[in-house]
Amino acid sequence: MKWAGAITAMLALPSSFTPLMAEAVKVADRLPIIWLHMAECTGCSESLLRSANPSIDSLIFDYISLEYHETLMAAAGWQAEENLEQAMHKYKGRYILMVEGGIPTGDQEYFLTIGAHGHSGKESAVKASENAAAIFAIGTCSAFGGVQAAAPNPTNAVSLSSVTHKPVINVPGCPPSEKNIVGTLLHYLMYGTLPALDVYNRPKWAYRLRIHDLCERRGHFDAGEFVEQFGDAGAKDGYCLYKVGCKGPYTFNNCSKQKFNQGTSWPVQAGHGCIGCSEPDFWDVMGPFEEPLGDALYQTVFGGLGADATADKIGIALLTATAVGIAAHAALAAVKPPKE
Amino acid sequence: MSKRIVVDPITRIEGHLRAEVIVGDDGIVEDAFVSSTLWRGLEVIAKGRDPRDVPLIMQRICGVCTYSHYLKSTMAVEDALGIKIPYNAELVRTLMNASLFLHDHVIHFYHLHGVDWIDIVSALDADVEKASKLAFKYSDNPINTGENDLKKVKETVAKFANGPQGMGPFANAYWGHETYKLTPEQNLIGLAHYLKALEMQRMIAQMMAIFGGKNPHPQV
Ligand code: SF4
């Protein structure tokens, strides 16, 4: 099991845990997984398919039993529904529930229905939550409502944790990297308990640090060397992207260390700033994405409110202060919900 | 009397889809309806935003054909504002679109559409030697269909199919139905490709990550 070492390192466990990890996966004997799709784009499912350590085929055929996953399963219609019912019955209290997508509620609950009888997405998510051994909200939509919950949230979309009373582990990102999805699963496999979490119920092993903390452009930030405009000389020299909108200082995730697609690259490496996709309400509070928060030219959905409210705290003057991330994070959390 | 048949969820697609078919006594389809059972309102959400943010939102229409909606929404904004893009931008967009094109075809052909015509259970009856030879009929350089490869594929799936936990994502399908037209050997070749394609798509996606930072949802 070549991948066990890589995963152990990613979960920030000592290398002596490697054989344990390999053992845990074998012993688990195809852990039953139910994966539901709510209001989503299937990007999280696609991200899961990119898993290399372990590879997605060994995951599906050897380590887990993917009982229900609408993007991959052969059955459709009533056979698919029957598979879901049977899995919930057969593995009662033992299956892992993974949910992708926000959940329309209130008068808009039926803006998502699933199955011949037209049950709402909310009904099926709540039902599947009841007897799950652990629940993971995969992606920012499921963790925090996501893109459909952006102002004016036309479908009253909410997070999974708002519709169930059961504990939910949030694995946000748009989409989260394959490593964060599979890592969360393997962490559970190994310990059989929920991981240490931050204030937004994100596993600390993945979301403990800011993007900014380990960013490869950080040296340029500290030296005050910024890309002023996409395509300028600074951009060619790999300068810091803060002034063209990077939200790395306010965003907690491991992208700068783990990257995406087997470590191929990540947005900042490709020359675009982070947009804060693993933070709650980032579509509303982090925009406009290509400007620093303190500097909005256009009226945003806030009518400029978000930018103004944070401008004092995230001025360019503060750029070299290491406290910038903390202050900004606190300021963002205090921003009022957007008005239309 | 005619019958109403409802298929919901339609699986192996992006999103939520329902099909209703009215079939007469003679087995002839009299009428059919298809509806998408999710509405998110991204067009409503886009209103009043900074135009540079809108393509990023629109990219979230689909994570399977990721980048398509991003590209077209960017072009719409440029069109509205009369922006002409530099040659380098055209090049990188074309490269990213090409990597999506390659990736999406593999996923669509094998993992989304494939099991509609590859009978996984029938593949277990295949003669490995015959199948391996047959693969040369379709390609001069067949992939993952050497005798040993096919033996391994068969073992993987046999273990899976005969195990106590059943077939997971392949459970309760129409295996053995007369509309599956391929021979066991052809099915085994298809299955070997299905597995190999899971590995290939992961590599192809790296191509988009090189140009766009990550995949799915490049750039951000
Ligand atoms: S602001 Fe963005 S690009 Fe600059 S160092 Fe921080 S994370 Fe990196």
DSSP A39-64: BS-SHHHHHHHT-BTTBHHHIIIIIE
Backbone angles phi and psi of B200, in degrees to 5: -60, -45
**CATH superfamily ID and name for A2-207:** NADH:ubiquinone oxidoreductase-like, 20kDa subunit (3.40.50.700)
pLDDT tens digits, B98-112 = 999 999 999 999 999
Backbone angles phi and psi of A120, in degrees to 5: -75, 160
Cα–ligand 1 centroid distance for A249 (angstroms): 7
Atom of ligand 1 nearest to the CA of A210: 7
The answer to whether the Cβ–Cβ distance between A80 and B11 falls below 8 Å is yes
User: Residue A20 has what pLDDT?
Assistant: 77
User: Residue A145 has what pLDDT?
Assistant: 98
**CB of residue A210 inside a 6 A radius of ligand 1:** no
Cα–ligand 1 centroid distance for A307 (angstroms): 19
Return the domain boundaries, chain B. 3-35, 85-220
The residue to which tokens 């980032």 are assigned? A282
Q: Determine contact, residues A268/A293, Cβ cutoff 8 Å.
A: no
Q: How far is B131 from chain A (nearest CA, A)?
A: 22
Return the domain boundaries, chain A. 2-207, 211-298
User: Residue A204 has what pLDDT?
Assistant: 95
Query: Which chain A residues are Cβ-neighbours of B220 within 8 angstroms?
Result: 174, 267, 272-275, 277, 289
**CB of residue A241 inside a 6 A radius of ligand 1:** yes
Global confidence as pTM = 0.90
Please give the helix or strand (H or E) that residue B193 lies within, else none.
helix B184-212
The answer to whether the Cβ–Cβ distance between A55 and B199 falls below 8 Å is yes
User: Residue A294 has what pLDDT?
Assistant: 67
Nearest chain A residue (CA) to B39: A111
Q: How far is B199 from chain A (nearest CA, A)?
A: 8
Helix (H, G, I), strand (E, B) or coil at B139: coil
DSSP alpha helices (H): ranges in chain A? Answer: 3-10, 18-28, 43-49, 56-58, 77-90, 121-130, 140-144, 178-191, 204-207, 218-222, 233-236, 255-258, 267-270, 282-285, 305-311, 324-334
Share of chain B above pLDDT 70, in %: 100
User: Residue A98 has what pLDDT?
Assistant: 98
- Pocket of ligand 1, candidates A209, A210, A212: which has the most ligand atoms within 8 Å of its Cβ, to mutate? A212
Domain A211-298, second-level architecture? Irregular (4.10)
pLDDT tens digits, A140-165 = 999 999 999 999 999 999 999 999 99
- What region does A283 belong to: left with phi over 0, alpha with psi -120 to 50, or beta? alpha
**CB of residue A217 inside a 6 A radius of ligand 1:** yes
Which of A132, A158, A163, A134 minimizes the C-alpha distance to A39? A158
Cα–ligand 1 centroid distance for B211 (angstroms): 19
**CB of residue A246 inside a 6 A radius of ligand 1:** yes
